[in-house]
Amino acid sequence: MPSDLGILLISGSHERAHYAFVLAAGAAAIGRGVVLFATNEGCRALCADWGGLEDAGRDARVIARGVGGFAELREASAELGVRLIACEAGLRMAGIDAGALAPGVEIAGVTTFLGATDGAQIVTL
């Protein structure tokens, strides 16, 4: 599916990472092709253990208020075909080993993201 929405996640905060997946899952659910590209501290959102996100404990408050939690949104995004890419340079900047990434996450550079989203709407969080 061609991508018509690119999400650039540069923040390692739970709030921004959570909303990146809200956007990704929502757009994919209505049939939009989505690429989520994480760089620097944002790469923590693509780790198998996303507990390294700043204020990761916020997720319990989100769930307690009846909103989909981070794990649920990330899983839904993957099931809906959202392409997840961790920036190779961003992983190095954040000190994250590629082996820490969740299954299905690609490692590529910004040129891959820009090529995959050519002409698409891009949102930065």
- Predicted confidence at residue 3, as pLDDT, reads 79
Q: Does residue 6 contact residue 120 with C-beta atoms inside 8 Å?
A: yes
The domain covering 5-124 belongs, at the CATH homologous superfamily level, to: DsrEFH-like (3.40.1260.10)
Whether residue 116 has pLDDT greater than 80: yes
Taking the model in full, what pTM does it have? 0.95
Give the pLDDT mean for 39-57: 97
The angle at the Cα of 68, spanning 66 to 71, to the nearest 5 degrees, equals 140
Whether residue 63 has pLDDT greater than 90: yes
How much of the chain, in percent, has pLDDT values that exceed 70? 98
pLDDT digits (tens, 9 = 90+) for 6-34: 999 999 999 999 999 999 999 999 999 99
Give the start-to-end residue ranges of the domains of the chain: 5-124
Q: Report strand pairing: 106-108 vs 121-124.
A: unpaired
- Predicted confidence at residue 1, as pLDDT, reads 61
**Tokens representing 108?**
């590529």
